[in-house]
A and B are shown apart, each in its own frame.
Chain A
Amino acid sequence: MDAVFKALADASRRELLDRLRADNGQTLNELCACLDMTRQAVSKHLAILEDANLVATVRRGRQKLHYLNPVPIHEIGERWIGKFERGRLKALSDLKKALEEGTGE
């Protein structure tokens, strides 16, 4: 999980993820074309994102396509938000039960 937070703690890397979100499956060249970063910098950032499993790659012939992988972020959400949601849902259903049982008054 540390690798995910470290990867996200950089504006350029977040920008790369935004670009993939808007247009998934880009090559390194395509990503470099619209960004104000050197090819080397983009390459370095992509490697960090891949290590954090935030970017998945697919080989298509000689090209390497980059895809946004939101699964690690979903897992983080599930760890904290998921638990809160379940807690809230349970609280609501408990309230409902209490109100229904109280209608005999």
Chain B
Amino acid sequence: MIDTAKFKPKTVYVIYIAATAQKVWQALMDPAFSKHYFFGFAVDVEPKRGGCFRLLWPDGRVHVTGEVMDWSPPRRFSCSWRVEGMKDFGELPQCLVTYDIEPSGDAVKLTMTESHSWDIPRDILKGGESGWPKILSGLKSLLETGKPLAVDTKAGPSPEFMAAVKKAVAEKPWLKP
């Protein structure tokens, strides 16, 4: 188990969804749903604290691995998160992703928090900053209308992002006191 106290929220995104908390939870944990809003990735999670969390490519290759820190349906989910499926990225410290689902009138307030244990450079954080709004909006669209949003297939990591990852892996600032 990682020491979650060492992780500070860096990205906090909130979206309101007209669905029940149970439905939002299911959509977040079920590959049948995640394929439609999470850039085609299938969520594969062992439903318990300490369980294995993975995001899989359509061909079954692993993109993200992690360990479930908090399994409290339908209110709170938290897992460690390490991107294995991208060059160099697996060498960076893992981060923490948390979903908080709270009732809000007839809707549900979903808060996605990405927390890091090190002073992650802005250019690397931008990866999540650009991806998460699309994921959350896609999830909302799917649950509210039954239709996913169009996937932005031309988007890939920016050169600045790749350069920042390479630099961080070379310098390993998280190892310095």
Tier of interface size on chain B: 10 to 19
Residue of A nearest to B14 (CB): A56
Q: Which of chain B's residues 1-52 have a Cβ closer than 8 Å to chain A?
A: 8-16
Which among B69-77, B129-137, B165-173 touches the partner chain? B129-137
Please name the residue on chain B nearest to A68 by beta carbon. Answer: B12
B149 within 8 A of A: yes
Interfacial residues of chain A within 26-61, with CB under 8 A of chain B in the complex: 53, 56, 58
16 A-B pairs (CB sep. < 8 Å): A24-B10, A25-B8, A25-B12, A56-B12, A56-B13, A56-B111, A58-B9, A67-B9, A67-B12, A70-B13, A71-B14, A71-B15, A74-B134, A74-B137, A75-B140, A82-B149
Cα distance, A44 to B97, chains bound together (Å): 30
Main secondary structure of the interface of B (DSSP, over half): strand
Bound together, the chains give a CA A75 to CA B138 distance in angstroms of 10
Q: A52 CB to closest chain B CB, in angstroms?
A: 11
Q: In the bound complex, how far is the Cα of B16 from the Cα of A56, in angstroms?
A: 12
Contacts of A53 in B (CB 8 A): 14, 16
A94 at the interface (CB under 8 A from B): no
In the complex, the answer to whether A78 meets B149 with C-beta atoms within 8 Å is yes
Q: Any chain A CB within 8 A of the CB of B150?
A: yes
* A61 to B: closest C-beta gap in Å: 11
Q: Which residues of A contact B117 (CB under 8 A)?
A: none
Contact A58 B149 (CB under 8 A): no
Binding site for A on B (CB under 8 A): 8-16, 111, 113, 129, 133-134, 136-137, 140, 149-150
Assuming the contacts A56-B14, A78-B149, asked whether A71 and B133 have C-beta atoms less than 8 A apart, the reply is yes
- A71 is contacted by which of B8, B137, B149 (Cβ under 8 Å)? B137
> A83 to B13, alpha carbons, bound, how many Å?
23
Q: Find chain B residues with CB under 8 A from A82 CB.
A: 149-150
Most B C-beta atoms less than 10 A away, residue of A24, A58, A71: A71
Q: 1/0 per position for A65-105, CB-CB distance to B under 8 A?
A: 10101110011001000100010000000000000000000
Question: Is B12's CB under 8 angstroms from A58's CB?
Answer: yes
CA distance A82 to B147 in the complex (A): 15
| CA distance in complex: A86, B147 (Å) | 15
Chain A: minimal CB distance from B119 (Å): 12
Inside 8 A of B111's CB, which chain A residues have their CB?
56
Please name 14 further chain A to chain B contacts, defined as beta carbons within 8 Å, in addition to the given A65-B9, A70-B129, sorted by A numbering: A24-B10, A25-B8, A25-B10, A53-B16, A56-B12, A58-B9, A58-B113, A69-B13, A71-B133, A74-B137, A75-B140, A78-B137, A82-B149, A82-B150
